[in-house]
Structure 1
Amino acid sequence: MKLLTEAPEHSRQTTHMLFAAHHLERLGDRVTNIGEDVVYLATGQVEDLNT
């Protein structure tokens, strides 16, 4: 966000980077959820893979 105010000429690229970072974080969350589901299906135990 600091970059948006310091270099407004790069606002478009900065916005794209923010959206990309957001989507990568969501992807990581979904992959973690899938991993937890697989562990549960294989072992019957609930594991928190976020730690």
Structure 2
Amino acid sequence: MRAEVEDNPTARHCYARCERFEKNYKSLCPVEWIESWDEEQKLGVFAGAV
């Protein structure tokens, strides 16, 4: 997952949580899925809100 950097983040603790989720899904999900999700995000067709 490639999070966009916010100009004015609402809370610093959010980044630590995101890093933990990123570590978890990267250890559980096949690389092909992650690459597909990244591509969908770039194209603006990802199924969920990021």
TM-score, reference length from structure 2: 0.36
Task: For CA contacts below 8 A with separation 6 or more, give which structure has more relative contact order.
Answer: 2
Q: Please tell me whether Structure 1 or Structure 2 has the larger radius of gyration of its CA atoms.
A: 1
TM-score, reference length from structure 1: 0.36
Instruction: Point out the structure with the larger helix share.
Output: 1
